[in-house]
């Protein structure tokens, strides 16, 4: 028993080094901008760069639009399928899994081919960017909503609301949405995490979003990218930690894994 525990510790130790060394190195690197002393200079430089602020604001805006668009598109549909068209469920599952089969780079290639010439000219419009992000977020958003809907009694809630005289709009926004709160929060966080640093689509559609900004910076500077990386770790990790914390409640969606966004 002693012996087997030694191997267990060893492998966890190796895993720990592999996990933490890059994080430590990035943090350390980001603090070394001033010679011979540790300082937050790289962070100050980044935060004072107007291009950074512009890129960050743009990406954050796109994230908000993506979240709103996905919620409006997916929640009513998923609800309706649960309530009235349960036979469509496998079809919905199939469609929402497609973004796993179609890598982001392929999707954006297809979008550019389809919408860069009349009759539909969308390449230079942020609509196409948001649409692509909604597609990328589809598997996560749909799955969190689906898990949430399974956890509540959709039929009873709907009928109770109807018997009290509520219309469809009211049922959706005052009954279904609040009951899916924690599931929707899960999907929202994941979508935000996907969009905020996204590179593939933003780069291909030539938007000055945060992802392209970061790669550009990497070509010119040494310490600022590390500072940016640390900030984005903290942002993503804080939101995932918050998500895990919130997910402990009832009907919460466990954090999913974002296959295909790397």
Partner 1 sequence: MANQIETVQQLNKGAPKARPYFQNISWSWVGVVPFFLFALLFIFIPTTALFVGSFQDIEGNFTLRNIQMLFTEDYIINSFMLTIKVSLVTAIGGAVFGFFLAYAVTIGGLPRWVRSFLSSFSGVASNFAGVPLAFAFIATLGRVGLFTVFLKKLGLDLYGTNSFSLYSFWGLSLTYMYFQFPLMVLTIIPGLDGLKREWREACENLGANKFQYWWKIALPILMPSLLATTILLFGNAFGAYATAYALTGGTLNLVPIIIGAQIRGDVLNDPNLGYALALGMVIVMALALAIYYMLQKRASRWLR
Looking at residues 123 to 142 of the shown chain, list those that interact with partner 1 (rule: CB under 8 A): 131-132, 134-135
Angle at Cα 102 formed by Cα 204 and Cα 255, nearest 5°? Answer: 95
Q: Which of 51, 125, 215, 242 binds partner 1 (CB under 8 A)?
A: 215
Cis peptide upstream of residue 154 (ω within 30 degrees of 0): no
Does position 39 interact with partner 1 (CB under 8 A)? The reply is no
Min separation Cβ 237 and partner 1, Å: 5
Q: Which stretch binds partner 1 (CB under 8 A): 35-43, 44-52, 96-104, 180-188?
A: 96-104
Does position 68 interact with partner 1 (CB under 8 A)? The reply is no
Best CA proximity match to 244, nearest among 230, 232, 254, 259: 254
Using CA atoms, how far apart are residues 164 and 68, in angstroms rounded to an integer?
28
Does position 53 interact with partner 1 (CB under 8 A)? The reply is no
Does position 15 interact with partner 1 (CB under 8 A)? The reply is yes
Beta carbons within 10 angstroms of residue 189's beta carbon: 23
Does position 105 interact with partner 1 (CB under 8 A)? The reply is yes
Q: Which of 41, 64, 218, 246 binds partner 1 (CB under 8 A)?
A: 218
Does position 177 interact with partner 1 (CB under 8 A)? The reply is no
- What are all long-range contacts of 85-88, with beta carbons under 8 Å and residues at least 24 apart? none
Q: Which stretch binds partner 1 (CB under 8 A): 40-48, 52-60, 89-97, 178-186?
A: 89-97
Does position 228 interact with partner 1 (CB under 8 A)? The reply is yes
Q: Which of 41, 47, 64, 112 binds partner 1 (CB under 8 A)?
A: 112
DSSP 8-state class, residue 121: E
Using CA atoms, how far apart are residues 185 and 246, in angstroms rounded to an integer?
8
Does position 187 interact with partner 1 (CB under 8 A)? The reply is no
Nearest to partner 1 of 6, 53 (CB atom): 6
- What are all long-range contacts of 83-86, with beta carbons under 8 Å and residues at least 24 apart? 83/154, 83/155, 83/158
Put residue 43 in one of left, alpha, beta given phi > 0 → left and psi -120 to 50 → alpha.
alpha
Q: Which stretch binds partner 1 (CB under 8 A): 23-31, 33-41, 46-54, 176-184?
A: 23-31
- For the record, the structure tokens of 6 come out as 């030694």
Does position 121 interact with partner 1 (CB under 8 A)? The reply is no
Beta bridge partners of 121: 116
Q: Which of 108, 176, 184, 185 binds partner 1 (CB under 8 A)?
A: 108
Does position 114 interact with partner 1 (CB under 8 A)? The reply is yes
Does position 38 interact with partner 1 (CB under 8 A)? The reply is no
The gap from C-alpha 256 to its chain's centroid, in whole angstroms, comes to 10
């Amino acid at each position: 028993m002693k012996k087997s525990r030694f191997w267990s510790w060893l492998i966890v130790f190796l895993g720990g080094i592999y996990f933490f060394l890059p994080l430590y190195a990035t943090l350390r690197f980001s603090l070394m901008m001033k010679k011979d002393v540790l300082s937050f200079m790289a962070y100050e430089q980044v935060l004072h760069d107007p291009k950074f602020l512009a890129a960050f604001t743009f990406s954050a805006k796109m994230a908000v639009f993506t979240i709103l668009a996905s919620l409006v598109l997916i929640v009513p549909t998923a609800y309706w399928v649960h309530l009235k068209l349960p036979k469509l469920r496998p079809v919905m599952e199939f469609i929402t899994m497609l973004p796993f089969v179609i890598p982001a780079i392929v999707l954006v290639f297809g979008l550019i081919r389809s919408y860069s010439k009349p009759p539909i000219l969308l390449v230079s419009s942020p609509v196409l960017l948001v649409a692509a992000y909604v597609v990328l977020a589809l598997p996560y958003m749909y799955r969190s909503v689906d898990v949430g809907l399974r956890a509540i009694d959709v039929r009873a809630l709907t009928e109770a609301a109807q018997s009290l005289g509520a219309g469809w709009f009211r049922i959706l926004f005052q009954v279904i949405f609040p009951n899916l709160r924690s599931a929707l929060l899960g999907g929202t966080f994941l979508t935000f995490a996907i969009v905020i640093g996204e590179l593939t689509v933003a780069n291909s559609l030539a938007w000055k979003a945060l992802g392209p900004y970061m790669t550009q910076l990497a070509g010119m500077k040494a310490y600022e990218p590390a500072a940016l990386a640390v900030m984005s770790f903290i942002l993503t990790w804080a939101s995932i930690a918050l998500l895990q914390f919130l997910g402990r409640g009832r009907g919460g969606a466990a954090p999913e894994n974002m296959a295909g966004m790397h």
